[in-house]
Amino acid sequence: MTEIHENPHQTAREACDRCPARAAFVAVLPAGGELLFCGHHHRAHRERLASHGALVSPLPGRSALHAVGDAA
C-alpha cells in the first residue's frame, strides 16, 4: 500500500504539479485547465508548453527571479 503524506502547511494550489516543490508558475492550457510548476519544471517544460500555445506566467506573490534560480 502506498502512503500519501501531505504537508499541512502547503495546499495543493501551492505545490508544483510535477513534484512537491512550491509552485512559482502557472500554465493556462488552450484546451482549458491549468498546470502549476516550480522553477525547475518550468524550465524543463517551457518550450513544449509554448509550442502548444499555453500561456505561462509567474504566480502572484511569487518571485519569478527566485523561481528561475531554483536548483535543477
How many residues are recorded in the chain? 72
Q: Determine the pLDDT at residue 61.
A: 80
Q: Determine the pLDDT at residue 60.
A: 87
Q: What is the pLDDT of residues 37-65, one digit of tens each?
A: 999 999 999 999 999 999 999 998 876 54
Order across the sheet with 55-58: list the strands.
34-37, 25-28, 55-58
Q: What is the pLDDT of residues 2-29, one digit of tens each?
A: 444 444 454 556 899 999 999 999 999 9
pTM assigned to the model: 0.69
Neighbouring C-beta atoms of residue 22, cutoff 10 Å: 17
Domain ranges of the chain: 14-68
The angle formed by the CA atoms of residues 54, 43 and 57, to the nearest 5 degrees, is 45
- Give the integer Cα–Cα distance in Å for 33 and 21: 20
Contact (CB, 8 A) for 25 and 58: yes
